[in-house]
Structure 1
């Protein structure tokens, strides 16, 4: 679109030069020239608006990408923390299982522990 507008500016300059060389006062020629000036001016305005909209869109996309990147980093850190907590919990469980499998040093003979004493008389 920018190339088209630039070409239209060149045509408008040629029209101005041609009219200036002929020095015509024809109302139709003047109206045609005025129409071209308005049209090219409107296209310039629309081109600038399009450029601003494109810049705003690019900035929005950059912010969106940054937010997604930040969310991914946060999720990755949370996953690493959960994985570390799970590993610590597994290590603690293994330690507990190992201490439960270790024999009691007071009962080295392998005999079962004595039954608790009761105060009730036996019959």
Structure 2
């Protein structure tokens, strides 16, 4: 059964790229365009992994990550940050991989393989 990845990014072009790329590599995808919507999809879809942009309207990546870690049943869901925004936010655990935009597909697949093993 395909692993499900929740893509959270406010840029529709990035979301579409990640959906196509991940589906071409045998992942199921679900998408959200901000952290608030991402938390809702996290609850309803229960993905195996989340890709997370940091700089988004309404609720950014840092607030999404904090909300994820407060949810006892989902707090261990792996996260890969995909962002064009500066250094690693202090709220992120050091084990969370960060990929800068533009996205390196091989690096992303490597992190997914490691985190979902």
TM-score range, shorter chain: under 0.3
Instruction: From the two aligned structures, give the one with the greater strand fraction.
Output: 2
Larger radius of gyration: 1
- Give the structure-2-normalised TM-score: 0.18
Instruction: From the two aligned structures, give the one with the greater helix fraction.
Output: 1
- Give the structure-1-normalised TM-score: 0.17
